[in-house]
Structure 1
């Protein structure tokens, strides 16, 4: 998937369209008594509102990413895996959180902070890189500035943080499986594959960069 050129609009539109379908389902489940079809408890209204708010933020950010910021091509295999991941975030988290009849408290404040912080880290890192790459003087050069000076895959770190925040908002232990799975995918699949591509493309420049920069978590790993 790395190194592909072209717009691949069919795949991009498919991803955004799947998000729209997931959003409609989540709204129905949270606010139109969709839980009754599954014979599940009604849960807490304020938590449901936050859950849907998180989904809306994801939709805006990810649609902007897929339709504008993402410059490389997108394969159909990636389209399917990304859509399935969104299904877990939108539908999985919403259903797990909607059945919890727990009033909002300080833990939910932490959840909101983590979700927003992770969202900002991910999107800001991508925006700064996009602006840098638009300069013709930087064509063919490796970007190591902005937030990427703190971790090679700081954008992935942002994803991990907001997903943890979303999982915490559900107040459901089963939600913990999703961020754990995401971290495993990043560490054992996405990062190694991306690093191989970057080494091939940038050579010594990337090798020097990765020697002095953490992989995923700033100052730690």
Structure 2
């Protein structure tokens, strides 16, 4: 519960998190553009060169994720970051960057209009996640809203709409690899949200806002708008 209770800059943790994220992003770029031969020789794998256009598309999308993460860490996230988070958060994103990069090397399929639709899904998920949190941040800055539950904007449709955005863009990256096994990663993310993050955060919010949060939950879905 202490994960959500304390505010603070915790700048050393944020810097360490940023450094690790940057190294992981650079590693994914190496994997996408030439690293497969080294990995094959190290581990005895049979990774192929993939498709250059697909690899470039993935790397660009990774960079968008990276920029949004930096915006969240240094601007939107007001609570302190614990040392375990400074290492666990990059681990999760390493699973995305490196995992999806490896999966993408198993196919040489050319880019099609289907991939363009997947990119739109990625952009939609990214917008849902970052825009919803930015609007909440702006709302909380107003003095008259202090101590109130934010149930406006996209959060009107889901108590954890930002998590739903995460599910969308991670699923899009999985689909872009053209490897069905990559879908295990967003499935794992959904399980993490449903069975760990959401219950923990809900307990914290109910303790903080009391019956106001309980009433808000009755009017909103938990994760997927209009469904769950």
In which range does the TM-score fall when normalised by the shorter chain?
A: over 0.9
Find the residue that maps to 2:21 and give its secondary structure: helix
Corresponding residue of 1:148: 155
- Residue 24 of structure 1 and its aligned partner are, at CA, apart by 1.3
2:73 counterpart of 1:72:
no
Q: Is 1:47–1:98's contact at 8 Å kept on the other side of the alignment?
A: no
TM-score by length of 2: 0.94
Give matches, 1:125-136, under 5 Å.
Answer: 125-136=132-143
Corresponding residue of 1:186: 193
2: CA distance between counterparts of 1:23 and 1:93? 12
Match of 2:184 among 177, 186, 195: 177
Gaps of at least 5 residues in structure 2 are: 41-46
Give matches, 1:190-201, under 5 Å.
Answer: 190-201=197-208
2: CA distance between counterparts of 1:24 and 1:186? 27
2:16 counterpart of 1:14:
yes
1: CA distance between counterparts of 2:4 and 2:199? 12
Q: Is 2:124–2:168's contact at 8 Å kept on the other side of the alignment?
A: yes
- Residue 15 of structure 1 and its aligned partner are, at CA, apart by 1.5
- Residue 80 of structure 1 and its aligned partner are, at CA, apart by 2.0
Corresponding residue of 1:35: 36
Q: Is 1:44–1:99's contact at 8 Å kept on the other side of the alignment?
A: no
Gaps of at least 5 residues in structure 1 are: none
Q: Deviations over 1:169-193 (max 9, x none)?
A: 0111221110000000000000000
Segment drifting more, 104-113 vs 86-95: 104-113
2: CA distance between counterparts of 1:12 and 1:37? 32
2: CA distance between counterparts of 1:17 and 1:38? 23
Find the residue that maps to 2:5 and give its secondary structure: coil
Report runs of 4+ in structure 1 exceeding 6 Å deviation.
none
2: CA distance between counterparts of 1:4 and 1:170? 39
Give the root-mean-square deviation of aligned CA atoms.
1.0
2: CA distance between counterparts of 1:27 and 1:189? 31
